[in-house]
Structure 1
């Protein structure tokens, strides 16, 4: 069971890092995006962001599944405090999915069918909403990543729980 928990932590942490990295990338690009004209912005949207939703979506879904599984396995033999990090991370992954479905996805669907000739006059409102949704997801990704990383750093291993430590308990001692 200990190895399963470690694998779940690793998968959850990798997914949180991917979500954080992808969404933070959007946040860091926002000042440059705001300097573009409507047609330039639309060209960027049509050209550069195809893989973000695929990788990010997979990371959010797998991260949610892994952290829910981690929460369930952590409940066995641990205190409520010991399950706080996976619960926080799971809620953050759920939040990023909700922000995508209700924030980014509807805007992505509109932008995909726009052309420079059909770009609405209020296009900057959509750009700002799209960027705000990514900023919210970046905050949620940060919290998920930090919760999992801190929990991993402070997590006690079975060998730390006893006075004796053997090579069987600690693979680094072998």
Structure 2
């Protein structure tokens, strides 16, 4: 009678962890792409996490002071904008590298498109609100405050949703990669 093998002996490590089969530049680019996509998604998710108190508890004066006048979001532009571009370009190159692998290719291509959609949403929803915010001056709260605040906050929520779907798609794509 043959002794039963443990699950670890029956399955090669590469069958359990497909990423371990990747080699060289493909492995490097896959990790870099996941890192850049996560760095792009993270600040957007932070916007969503802070939006509930900003919409329901913060006074208009506090919201305006924190958002417009005190530079709370300066690094979102300086660091976030290049990351958002890289979060489109990195998976685009990875998709090209995976063009012969049907499963991985399509998920990574979808991630590329979803990150591009997130940037399009930012330009369509958030930037117009930012343009209005740039005209605000200290003093009385502007009459269009509620409209602009809601557009700015919900715009970031839409951007985050697209990035979340893009990141999930990228993860599925990376799990499909079988060789380098």
**TM-score for the superposition, normalised by structure 1:** 0.80
Q: 3-state SS of the aligned residue for 2:143?
A: coil
2:64 equivalent in structure 1: 42
Q: Which of 66, 85, 93 matches 1:69?
A: 93
Structure 2 contact 101–177 (Cα < 8 Å) conserved? no
Q: 3-state SS of the aligned residue for 1:115?
A: coil
2:78 equivalent in structure 1: 54
Instruction: State the structure with more CA Rg.
Output: 2
1:100 equivalent in structure 2: 122
- Structure 2 residue 38 is the aligned partner of structure 1 residue 17: yes
1:164 equivalent in structure 2: none
1:78 equivalent in structure 2: 101
The CA deviation at 1:15 is 2.0
The CA deviation at 1:71 is 1.4
Structure 2, unaligned runs of 5 or more: 1-21
In the alignment, the residues of structure 2 paired with residue 72 and residue 157 of structure 1 have an alpha-carbon distance, to the nearest angstrom, of 15
Structure 2 contact 104–174 (Cα < 8 Å) conserved? no
Q: 3-state SS of the aligned residue for 1:113?
A: coil
In the alignment, the residues of structure 2 paired with residue 32 and residue 13 of structure 1 have an alpha-carbon distance, to the nearest angstrom, of 30
Structure 1, unaligned runs of 5 or more: 159-174
Structure 2 contact 118–163 (Cα < 8 Å) conserved? yes
Structure 1 contact 88–144 (Cα < 8 Å) conserved? yes
In the alignment, the residues of structure 1 paired with residue 140 and residue 130 of structure 2 have an alpha-carbon distance, to the nearest angstrom, of 15
1:163 equivalent in structure 2: none
Q: 3-state SS of the aligned residue for 1:36?
A: coil
In the alignment, the residues of structure 1 paired with residue 93 and residue 176 of structure 2 have an alpha-carbon distance, to the nearest angstrom, of 20
CA-to-aligned-CA distance 1:99-140 (integer Å, 9 cap, x gap): 121211121122123123264212111111111111111111
In the alignment, the residues of structure 2 paired with residue 139 and residue 38 of structure 1 have an alpha-carbon distance, to the nearest angstrom, of 26
Runs of 4+, deviation exceeding 4 Å: none
Structure 2 contact 104–172 (Cα < 8 Å) conserved? no
- Structure 2 residue 142 is the aligned partner of structure 1 residue 120: yes
Count of residue correspondences? 156
1:33 equivalent in structure 2: 54
